[in-house]
Amino acid sequence: MKTIYFDNNATTRVDERVLEEMGPLFCEFYGNPSSMHTFGGQMGRKIHHAREQVAALLGCEPSEVIFTSGGTESDNAAIKGALAAQPHKRKVITTRVEHPAVLSVCRDLENHGYTVVELSVDRQGRLDLAELQKHIDADTALITVMYANNETGTIFPIDRIAELAADKGVAFHTDAVQAVGKIPLNLSGNNIDLLSLSGHKLHGPKGIGVLYVRKGTRLAPFMLGGHQEAGRRAGTENVPGIVGLGKACELAAQSFDEEHSRVRHLRNMLEKAILKKCPDCRLNGDPENRLPNTSNISFEYIEGEAILLMLDKYGICASSGSACTSGSLEPSHVLRAMGVPFTAAHGSIRFSLSRYNTEEEVNYTIEKLPPIVNQLRQLSPFVAR
Amino acid sequence: MWEYTDKVRDHFFNPRNVGEIENPDGIGEVGSLACGDALKLTFKLDEKGRIKDAKFKTFGCASAIASSSVLTELIKGLPLEEAAKVTNKDIADYLGGLPEQKMHCSVMGREALEAAIENYRSGGRKKHELEGTIVCTCFGVTDREIERVIRENSLTTVEQVTNYCKAGGGCGGCQGEIEKIIEKVQGEKIREATVSPPRREGKLTNVQKIQLIQQTINEQIRPALRAHGGNIELIDVEANKVVVAFRGMCAQCRTAELTMKEVVEAKLREFVSEGLFVEEDKESAGQPHNHIE
């Protein structure tokens, strides 16, 4: 059975051209970049090239790119590192809809005497910037707000938020794991101090990420040991991962047009057909400012895991914000923060596309999904026959 | 991804006895949309008092649907007294087991059966009522229900209780109480306490006391407040006076604050020291709050 992969916000397929670059780095060129001999030392040039590729995608200087093990490490390092560098300030502002890699870190800070403000969002998942502004004070050390939401695809006005932070001299971090590679961004033209990205979300390998640190941003080193990454992140470099991520960034820059036209078109096709063919369903998230690849739809009166398993039978991969799939007993914190009623939160399905998806796959899904929804509704005690 | 047995998959993809019996002898409805799963069971008896037909409608995940389907299969043909003896374990065993975190689906099946039998015995008037006092407010689970799943499934940890009946799986505020119920039922100390540092013997140093107060707030008090959109902050400790600030919904709601103050005080006295009393920090009460809805 063919796999139809609509779960690209979870992870993506590695581009063959990325794999090709990585291949020789395991058995052929396996040296340590810190070594004195030519065999190892030449790896430094490869890392330097990858750093340039990442910088080109982000619109920043290569020296502002620190390689990490992924998005979660970047988030942890940015938040803890920024706070450690300003020990006299004790307040952090974030949002209720952040990824756990940010939210859990912030909530843990509360246990260490920090005041954490979690901004709420409206029904479309949008922030109230006036509320944000009201919370910024002299004690505020850091504002951390995600670029785009992983569940709904809602894009926050990050440039504007970064400007508000900069006006008050507050450090600003954004978790851009879902945004990088999907929408163009240019760090030279805004006030973002710290930005996290992850390799495997943009057709690069798993286990590699980047923390962008604007020149002059105060950040305590977060992994102690050797001198790697200018002493900020010690540990022998993950050379294959770094080279792979560099290539993935280069390819992402070339495919923005495709993301914006073809992927968006496929997403819209899928979304429109589902909303039209299935009664009692609703779109979650901001329909205006949204990632071109993401669609989050709630099906009332039925439960997400059941829908996923039925889709799985046809080889269709998606994800859900229902309690049963989150591994906890509560449905998605993002949908709850948006005031999505429980009935709809339990029955939410996220489709996230990539440049590898085809119109044929979309049509196949449009054909298979409505009968699944019908079948489960026939089982549901909340639907009258 | 959950590891489901072939039996679970079979009953999920091909559920038996779906629907509602017209003019049933018994109706059992349990669960709710908010909780994420719900089951409506109807049955009809023959002239000898055997269950002639049983049908179900379920909102929920694969294991909830499979458990409901199996329940109807198990009770069909049984005399009512025999059917009443079906336990959640019977359902889970028939399915070749369920993932631990999904055991509550089998418990929901047993609950619906009980509710339906109760409904029949009361002549169709009685709706299912909760017995005992509510322990878990997030999922509406009573002490009686918790005691029962502990006894029937020989449970020994809070985590297991959560897996079997959801209690303790929301804000976590009732986990201490669940621990006590486990101790009571099992008649012995449970294997490990999940949270709650034991109260220290002897006099604490000032630093130790403040740390213990902060720890108690972090572990015992904040999770429950968070679940309702609120928060608490430790402002100061002067001798036995603990100054705290309530944030978010707690700060806006006067009555909640009164009760919260009592709850906070009780927890601090239990975990830190008898002599403590709590005061609200008036200055910070006027500040803007988190979680404005």
- Residues A107-127 have pLDDT tens digits of 999 888 899 999 999 999 999
What kind and span of H or E run contains A308? helix A304-313
Same domain membership, residue B14 and residue B78: yes
Region A52-77 average pLDDT: 97
- Please check whether residue A225 lies inside any domain of the structure: yes
Taking a C-beta distance cutoff of 8 angstroms, is the pair A110, B218 a contact?
yes
- Please check whether residue B129 lies inside any domain of the structure: no
pLDDT at A148 over 70: yes
Q: Do B12 and A309 touch (CB under 8 A)?
A: yes
- Please check whether residue A242 lies inside any domain of the structure: yes
Same domain membership, residue B88 and residue B153: no
- Please check whether residue B43 lies inside any domain of the structure: yes
Residue of A134, A303, A327 with shortest CB distance to B36 = A303
Q: Which domain holds residue A165?
A: 16-254
pLDDT in tens, A186-237: 999 899 999 999 999 999 999 999 999 999 999 999 889 999 998 899 999 9
Is A306 an interface residue toward B (CB < 8 Å)? yes
Q: Do A303 and B290 touch (CB under 8 A)?
A: no
- Rounded distance, CA A108 to CA A100, Å? 11
The total of structural domains in chain A comes to 2
**Beta-strand relationship, A294-299 and A348-352:** antiparallel
Q: Do A382 and B33 touch (CB under 8 A)?
A: yes
Among all residues of A, which ones are annotated catalytic?
Answer: 324
Same domain membership, residue A296 and residue A267: yes
- Please check whether residue A384 lies inside any domain of the structure: no
- Please check whether residue A3 lies inside any domain of the structure: no
Q: What is the pLDDT of residue A385?
A: 57
Q: Do B34 and A330 touch (CB under 8 A)?
A: no
Same domain membership, residue A35 and residue A178: yes
Q: What is the pLDDT of residue A22?
A: 98
Residue of A110, A120, A303 with shortest CB distance to B61 = A303
Taking a C-beta distance cutoff of 8 angstroms, is the pair A234, A225 a contact?
yes
pLDDT in tens, A40-58: 989 999 999 999 999 999 9
Q: Which domain holds residue B244?
A: 206-285
- Please check whether residue B198 lies inside any domain of the structure: no
Residue B7 corresponds to which tokens in the numbers above? 């039996």
Residue A373 corresponds to which tokens in the numbers above? 């929804």
How high is the mean pLDDT of chain B?
83
- Rounded distance, CA A313 to CA B281, Å? 57
Q: Name every chain B residue with its beta carbon within 8 A of the beta carbon of A306.
A: 12, 60-62, 65
Taking a C-beta distance cutoff of 8 angstroms, is the pair A66, A211 a contact?
yes
The total of structural domains in chain B comes to 3
Region B157-176 average pLDDT: 86
- Please check whether residue A81 lies inside any domain of the structure: yes
- Please check whether residue A346 lies inside any domain of the structure: yes
Same domain membership, residue B260 and residue B212: yes
Burial of residue A215, with CB atoms counted within 10 A of its CB: 0-12 exposed, 13-18 middle, 19 or more buried = exposed
Is B67 an interface residue toward A (CB < 8 Å)? no
Helix axes B143-153, B175-186, angle to 10 degrees: 50
Q: What is the pLDDT of residue A150?
A: 96
Is B34 an interface residue toward A (CB < 8 Å)? yes
Q: Do A380 and B59 touch (CB under 8 A)?
A: yes
Sheet with B241-248, strands from edge to edge, namely: B230-238, B241-248, B277-280
Of A227, A254, A281, which residue sits at a domain end? A254
Same domain membership, residue A306 and residue A181: no
- Please check whether residue B72 lies inside any domain of the structure: yes
Q: What is the pLDDT of residue B169?
A: 84
Same domain membership, residue A365 and residue A238: no
pTM: 0.85
Q: Do A381 and B13 touch (CB under 8 A)?
A: no
Same domain membership, residue A97 and residue A147: yes
Same domain membership, residue A171 and residue A31: yes
Q: Name every chain B residue with its beta carbon within 8 A of the beta carbon of A139.
A: none
Region B213-229 average pLDDT: 80
Taking a C-beta distance cutoff of 8 angstroms, is the pair B26, B63 a contact?
no
Instruction: Supply the ipTM of this predicted assembly.
Output: 0.88
Same domain membership, residue A295 and residue A202: no
Phi, psi values for residue A212, rounded to 5°: -85, 130
Q: What is the pLDDT of residue B252?
A: 53
Same domain membership, residue A268 and residue A241: no
Is B58 an interface residue toward A (CB < 8 Å)? yes
Is B283 an interface residue toward A (CB < 8 Å)? no
Of A209, A229, A254, which residue sits at a domain end? A254
User: Roughly how many angstroms between the first and final C-alpha of chain B, as a whole number?
Assistant: 34
pLDDT at A350 over 50: yes
- Rounded distance, CA A115 to CA A225, Å? 31
As separate numbers, helices (DSSP H) first and strands (DSSP E) second, chain A gives: 16, 13
Min CA distance, A8 vs chain B (Å)? Answer: 16
- Please check whether residue B199 lies inside any domain of the structure: no
- Please check whether residue B201 lies inside any domain of the structure: no
Is B162 an interface residue toward A (CB < 8 Å)? yes
